[in-house]
Structure formats: C-alpha cells, structure tokens
Structure 1
Amino acid sequence: MEGRVGYELKRAQQAFCVAADEGLRVASLTNAQYAALALLEQDGPLSSADLARRCYVTPQTMNQIVAGLETRALVRRDAHPVHGRIRQTSLTEAGHALIAAAHEQVRAVEAAMVAELSEPERHELVRLLQSCVRALGAR
C-alpha cells in the first residue's frame, strides 16, 4: 500500500487528526467540534444538515456535536427566518472566543506538518489536493 496516493493521503489525514486532537485538547475540543465551529464562524448560521454535509459526518453525528456545543454555550440554535421547522446554529460570544484560540492550535499543527516544504510547494500541495477533491465531485 505504501506509495499509493489514497493510502498516503489517509495516513497524512490520520496523522493530522491525531496531532490536531492533541492540540485542541487545550480548548477541550475535538476535530469534529472544531470543524463545526470554524464553519459557523466562516459562513454564519447553518442548519445541522448543512453542517453535517460540510463536515463529512452523518446528520445524527452532527446533532450530537451541536447538542454538546450548545450545552457548553458555544453555539445557539434559533428558528430559520423563513423555514420555521429548520433550526439554524450560530456561534455565541463564547464560541467566537474559543474558536479563535483553537485556530492557533490548528495552525501550529499545520505549520509543523508542512515545515519541510517550501512556500511554493505548500501552495502546490493545496492546489493538488483541491484538484483531487474536484475530480471526485466533492465540494
């Protein structure tokens, strides 16, 4: 398996997740919680279904993630202004503060991961990964 693109990509992803989880422990967050908070920070209020799709988890898993974040007062859920049955999740002030601190932890892991790459190589790596995602029809 060594040297196969899919296998090496999975190894890199797993190594990143382990290191990021360790760094995020400082903020008492998991990778999945971090991803949800970061998306809410970036894109504003989102439904749990939208968050699940964007975080590549099941709706049931995202509901558990959001419920845990809500219990910690990091997010709140409000009725959608148009579709009353849909509840939108958004960051609270505490959520904004925590995600800012968590970004620092994740940036440190990302920097360590690409420390041996030059700046052009880093840009090329991102471009190549984005190309792989597009080729498989994902967002």
Structure 2
Amino acid sequence: MLLGAQLALNQACTDRLRPLELSMSQYTVLRARRPPGASSAELARITFVTRQSLRDVLGGLRSAGLVTVAEQATTGRARPVTLTTSGRAKLHAADELVAEAETRMRICVANLT
C-alpha cells in the first residue's frame, strides 16, 4: 500500500508541476537543501540521482534560466550551482502545488482508515 501511495503522490505532483514546465526531478533539484556553493556532485548525492542524470536535469534548469552553474570551480573541481531569482520564484510556486497534492493525499489516506 505504501508503494501505491508513493506512486499516486508522485503522479499527482507530476500533474501539478506540468503547467510550470517542471518535472519531478527538476523540482527535487530546485528544492534540495544544500549549502551555498554546493557542487554538482554534492547535489547529485543529496537528490539521490546519478551525476549523469543530474547533468541532464541541470541542463534543462539552466536553459530555463532557473539555475546557474559557475564557470570555474571555487575549490577543486566543484562548480557551485545556484538558484536564480526566476528559479526561486518557480520553486515557491511549485512548493505550493506540491503541498496541495500532499494535503489531498493525506486526506485520502485518512479517509481510508
């Protein structure tokens, strides 16, 4: 049952994020709590995706103007990823939509018990 609820929540969130032109993976990367200047490798670990998948997600976010990736590393090879003003605004809107989906899911689960 838990897996079914997770899949239903994921689908509900995906449906709500579509008008914002965000995928769940993109939302997860925007939403990830990371220290300022976190590298792409750190971001991949935090969001539980491979570095290759993260590269693709970041490419889409960069193209949409939602994040920037530093041209040069600040330490070692790490190139920090930062949300833009547009990225923060899109994240705020997405958070509201995802919160709605979570609330609806909680209500449905509560009605089942």
Q: TM-score, normalised to structure 2's length?
A: 0.86
Query: What's 2:16 paired with?
Result: 23
Q: Do the aligned partners of residues 15 and 22 (structure 1) sit closer, same or farther apart at CA in structure 2, a change above 3 Å counting?
A: same
After superposition, residues 54-133 of structure 1 pair within 5 angstroms as 54-78=46-70, 79-83=72-76, 85-116=77-108, 117=110
Percent identity reads: 34
Within 1, Cα distance between the matches of 2:100 and 2:5?
A: 16
Within 2, Cα distance between the matches of 1:87 and 1:95?
A: 18
Letter in 2 for 1:62: L
Return structure 1 stretches of 4+ with deviation > 4 angstroms: none
Q: Look up the SS of the partner of 1:29 in the other structure.
A: coil
Letter in 2 for 1:23: R
Q: Look up the SS of the partner of 1:90 in the other structure.
A: strand
Alignment size in residue pairs: 108
* Greater length-normalized contact order (CA 8 Å, ≥ 6 residues apart): 2
The yes-or-no answer on 1:35 pairing with 2:63 is: no
1:94: Cα distance to partner?
Answer: 0.6
1:45: Cα distance to partner?
Answer: 3.4
Q: CA RMSD in A?
A: 1.7
- For the pair shown, the structure with the greater C-alpha radius of gyration is 1
1:48: Cα distance to partner?
Answer: 1.7
- Per-residue Cα deviation, 1:85-128 (whole angstroms, up to 9, x for no partner): 211111001101100000010000000010153xxxxxxxxxxx
